[in-house]
Amino acid sequence: MKVSIIGAGNVGATAAMKIAADGFVNEVVLLDVKEGVAEGKAMDIMQSLMMTDSNTIVIGTTGDYSKTANSDVIVITSGVPRKPGMTREELVGVNSKVMTMVLDGATKYSPDAIFVVVSNPMDTMTMMAVNYLGKENWRKVIGMGGMLDSARFEYNIRMKLYAHYGLGKYDIVAKVIGGHGDTTMVPLVENATVNGKPLTSFFTDEEIADIVEKTMKGGAILTKMLGTSAWEAPAQGICETVKMIAFDENIPVASSVYREEYDLCIGTVVTIGKDGIEGIFTMKLSDETKNKYNASVEAVRNVNSAL
């Protein structure tokens, strides 16, 4: 399997490292517009692989899309991240221009690839890719964001369990659907479980509200701490998405996908396998959650209208 990552910044280069270190693909190509950066990152990653069992080859290129030819998966992490105080939606102008350039270059050499879109505002950038490839090819476009937001939801649950009970082994299942934005994401509290039990078995209403708030602001909290947006967990989300394609895993995860009924891309519980999006889960939601999801759909539509 060949994976090309367009944008060798914090998220792209870290994803390359994680994918290469896991050794499940033959080749990773990193492409960036900044002279020498992708080549340097690729060389550094390759040298680190020499200390592992991985046989993956990582190469870097400054803008030469022919090196990405015949990729099975193209990951798009190019563009600008947010700075403290910014929303993801504010990036739409600059990143949509980058997106058009990247789609032109990548599809020329890998017309049949599955696209994993990461650049923000992610739901809108994912819709751009769907429009570019044609809506009939929607299964080949996966927006990575819901997996990260779900991991942040699970993290906040985990840390509260730790505060209450200390160390322990917990099976936490918690998903976030809706838009990948501070105010648009919808953590599915009613479906979240710890060792098969609902959150109400472990936490008060106030504690659950705190978990939800910290999940929704998770990206902004980290951006304030780091001065730029986070990269380790986003890169892990990319690595897991590529693995689901490589191993035809088909386990339920939250990702942004094209939903015909709304005519836009939005976080949905889906299964991902060798052909991209394999299935869409229609979940039983309370009226309150349905209303939040519908509001999220309209918020994403509003950002899409800025294109």
- For the bound state, the minimum distance from the C-beta of residue 180 to ligand NAD, rounded and expressed in Å, comes to 6
185 in Cβ contact with 213 (< 8 Å):
no
Q: Is the dihedral of CA 132, 133, 134, 139 positive or negative?
A: negative
Is residue 77 near ligand NAD by the rule CB under 6 A? yes
What residue has token string 């899409």?
A: 304
| By CB under 6 A, residue 257 contacts ligand NAD | no
Count of residues engaged in binding ligand NAD, rule: CB under 6 A = 35
181 binds ligand NAD (CB under 6 A): no
Q: Which is nearer to ligand NAD, 11 or 277 (CB)?
A: 11
Task: Tell me whether residue 34 or residue 290 sits nearer to ligand NAD (CB atom).
Answer: 34
- Given candidates 3, 4, 5, 12, which one binds ligand NAD under the rule CB under 6 A? 12
Kindly tell me which of 65 and 203 has the beta carbon lying closer to ligand NAD: 65
* Contact flag: residue 122 with ligand NAD (CB under 6 A): yes
Q: Which is nearer to ligand NAD, 179 or 273 (CB)?
A: 179
Q: Name which of residues 221 to 240 contact ligand NAD (CB under 6 A).
A: 228-229, 231, 234
37 to 76: interface string for ligand NAD, x by CB under 6 A = x---------------------------------------
- The tokens 């769907």 sit on which residue? 130
Does 34 contact ligand NAD by CB under 6 A?
yes
Kindly list the catalytic residues. Answer: 180
> By CB under 6 A, is residue 148 in contact with ligand NAD?
yes
Smallest distance, ligand NAD to C-beta of residue 106, A: 10
Does 179 bind ligand NAD (CB under 6 A)? Our answer is: no
Q: Which stretch binds ligand NAD (CB under 6 A): 10-18, 165-173, 189-197, 206-214?
A: 10-18
Give the CA count within 13 Å in the CB-facing half-sphere of 33.
9
Q: What phi and psi, each to the nearest 5 degrees, are found at residue 75?
A: -105, 130
Q: Looking at 18, 82, 139, 175, which residue binds ligand NAD (CB under 6 A)?
A: 82
- Please report whether residue 98 would count as binding ligand NAD according to CB under 6 A: yes
Pairing type for strands 185-187 and 141-143 reads unpaired
In this complex, which beta carbon is closest to ligand NAD, that of residue 125 or of residue 194? Answer: 125
CA angle 219, 104, 25 (to 5 degrees): 65
Query: CB 259 → ligand NAD: shortest distance, Å?
Result: 18
What length is written for the chain?
307
**Is 284 exposed, middle or buried, given 0-12, 13-18 or 19+ CB atoms closer than 10 A?**
exposed
Q: Among 17-25, 31-39, 43-51, 206-214, which window interacts with ligand NAD (CB under 6 A)?
A: 31-39
- Which positions touch ligand NAD (CB under 6 A)? 6-12, 31-34, 37, 77-82, 91, 95, 98, 101-102, 118-120, 122, 144-145, 148, 180, 228-229, 231, 234
